[in-house]
Amino acid sequence: MFNVKNAARPKAIFTLWIRLNRKLATVDRLAKWGLVHDTTCVLCKNVDESLDHMFLQCHYAGEVWERVLTWAGIHNNRPKTWAQFMQWSIQHGKGKTTKAQLFKMILVEGVYAVWNERNKRIFEDKKCLIDEVVKNIAYVTTVRSPISINKIISHRKI
């Protein structure tokens, strides 16, 4: 899913690797160690932050995924549970087709973008609109993608 052939940025690939191993330092994990008192998701401000919430159930992240997958022309039946997420990722990212390569790159950059936005809000007291996050994912994907993928996405509007 995030092998050497993925044109995503190395820091994004690493973030997804940590996410897949369920080791990102979300506030629910930090709270277990007594390091955090407010566990509310900084993206949606509705429920407690957890790995599954942040990437699969959060309204903010859901809007990011909806828009970027629509831009890429990928049918969005985004999962809500970890098991569904793994099946969904395997289903769409399997093989060497241009569509599979595009999906893998968007998956990696999308996870990184949501994590980065969360961290900006916590540590820098800055926040981006969903449109800005989606445009950044689209920009990075377009710039870093091989010619075969770029032919598909370069003319699409966000």
pLDDT of 130 strictly over 60 = yes
Cα–Cα distance measured from residue 102 to residue 6, given in angstroms and rounded to the nearest whole number: 9
The closest alpha carbon to 3, from 78, 111, 93, belongs to: 93
Q: If you average pLDDT over each of 68-72, 142-146, 147-151, which comes out highest?
A: 68-72
C-alpha pair distances (Å), 27 with each of 32, 53, 87, 116, 154: 9, 11, 26, 14, 37
Instruction: For residue range 96-129, list pLDDT tens digits in order.
Output: 888 899 999 999 999 999 999 999 999 999 999 9
Asked if the model's pLDDT at residue 41 lies above 70, the reply is yes
d(CA 91, CA 12) in angstroms, rounded, equals 21
**Residue 144 in 3-state DSSP?**
helix
Q: CA separation (Å) from 15 to 20, 148, 156? A: 9, 25, 27
Higher pLDDT, 152 or 127: 127
Residues 6+ apart with CB under 8 A from 157: 71
Which residues contact residue 55 at a Cβ distance below 8 angstroms, ignoring those fewer than 6 apart? 19, 61, 85, 111, 114
Alpha carbon distance 158, 50 (integer Å): 29
Residue 56 has pLDDT above 60, yes or no: yes
Integer angstrom CA distances of residue 124 from 13, 14, 85, 96, 127: 23, 22, 30, 39, 9
**Count of beta carbons in the 10 Å neighbourhood of residue 136:** 18
**Of 117-121, 123-127, 133-137, 149-153, which gets the smallest average pLDDT?**
149-153
Mean of the per-residue pLDDT values for the chain? Answer: 88
| pLDDT at res. 81 | 83
Question: pTM for the complete prediction?
Answer: 0.89
Residue 141, class by beta-carbon neighbours within 10 Å (0-12 exposed, 13-18 middle, 19+ buried)? buried
pLDDT of residue 156: 73
Amino acid 28: pLDDT = 83
Domains of the chain: which residue ranges? 10-23+50-153
Neighbours of 53 (CB within 10 A): 19
Band (152; pLDDT cuts 50, 70, 90): confident
